[in-house]
Amino acid sequence: MNATDFRLTATDGEARLGRLETAHGTVDTPAFMPVGTAATVKATTPETVASTGAQIILANTYHLMLRPGAERIERLGGLHAFMNWPGPILTDSGGFQVMSLNTLRKIDEDGVDFRSHIDGSRYRLTPESAVDIQRMLGADVSMVLDECTPFPVDRAIAAESMQRSMRWAERSKKAFVERPGHGLFGIVQGGVYEDLRSASAQALLTIGFDGYAIGGLAVGEGQETMFDVLEATIPLLPIDRPRYLMGVGKPGDLVGAVARGVDMFDCVLPTRSGRTDQAFTRGGPVNIRNARHADDPRPLDESLDCPASRDYSRAYLHHLARSREILGAMLLTWHNLYYYQDLMARMRRAIGEGRFRAFAAEFAAEQANGDMEPR
């Protein structure tokens, strides 16, 4: 295995069932990656994350290069050993975080200068240094450095940004050190403009990558527009490489994107929501701080075989949230991660059984019913 290896095992319409082999294990796709930005999935432990069914997590180059530093992590045995996560890890190149700094960064053809959001110290990130930092971290899947186009954006600006990202992608590929079980993904950019997305995809295919991400979405364009961009972009990508939709999303986004041929996802939503008292259930989102839960003895979602979902009453979770007890954030995070992994497993089963369209209809009906009031 010279790089990550991807194999499709079934298709159902555009939905795909596959397996991604990496240096640290196998990932069944479609897959959702919990976000461990700073070498931790917030408010939980690696063992708990694994118990939800997650096989791969995401960590972030930008945050880790600032603190504790990629060199330190490398000296301590790499990110897997450092955070006690034995499974595969994908690292974002840091481009999105750097670009979001606005006045704290300055971009040019070579790379980007920026100030740390922590202490204001100066840093420079280039395609070459971003790839090397990810090598030091030991990521199974590394991402090219790109410029994430904001929304809305003028077409001319989007074109200039996309073309720069493609030049950076080529430099990232040249800088990437090939080793068994480790891969590099390119990132399709171009905003909401179909012709720019097409040109970006073609440029990346010419360079050649182990997988292809769709970036620059879930930045305010709305679900319908996002799905339109996916429908225009995904047919341009290779069938035999994984497709990764970055930073997405809500459960309905995942189902709709899988229906359009996406294989991999990441998003902070399940963990961030867990820390802000929101739970995702088969009946839709639940705000556990709502007064209607104060005397509700029911579990959060009895359809899930998760202790946080099954063994604690809504009344107790409501109490924890109102009291701002840390355990409340931990339990809701555990539940949300389990819900997301259960959703992915249900989609994988449906694809394998050739009934994904029926599953998507069932999912929509469940969500439309809403969270039922206690009787």
Average pLDDT over the chain, rounded to whole? 96
Active-site residue, selected from the candidate residues 140, 146, 263, 266: 266
CATH code for the domain in which residue 29 is found: 3.20.20.105
pLDDT in tens, 264-277: 999 999 999 999 99
b/e map 249-269, b = 16+ CB within 10 Å: bbbebbbbbbbbbbbbbbbeb
Query: What is the rounded distance in angstroms from the CA atom of residue 26 to the CA atom of residue 372?
Result: 38
Same domain for 84 and 231:
yes
User: Residue 237 is part of which domain span?
Assistant: 5-267
Determine which one of 92, 296, 301, 371 is catalytic. 92
d(CA 135, CA 133): 5
- Give how many domains the chain has, as a whole number: 2
Please indicate, yes or no, whether residues 185 and 227 belong to a single structural domain of this protein: yes
140 is catalytic: no
Q: Does the residue 37 lie in any domain?
A: yes
Q: What is the CA radius of gyration of the chain?
A: 20
Query: Active site includes 12?
Result: no
Q: Which residue, among 60, 16, 38, has the nearest Cα to 354 in the 3D structure?
A: 16
The 10s digit of each residue's pLDDT in 152-201 is: 999 999 999 999 999 999 999 999 999 999 999 999 999 999 999 999 99
Domain assignment present for residue 183? The answer is yes
Both tokens of 322, joined, read 């109102």
Q: Specify whether 254 is located in the same domain as 347.
A: no
- Do residues 243 and 328 both lie within one domain? no
pLDDT at 375: 62
- HSE-up of residue 133 (Cα within 13 Å, Cβ side): 27
State yes or no: pLDDT of 100 exceeds 90. Answer: no
* Shared domain check, 343 and 206: no
Residue 31 sits in the same domain as residue 85: yes
Task: State the pLDDT confidence band at 203, using cuts at 50, 70 and 90.
Answer: very high
For residues 136 and 258, state if they share a domain: yes
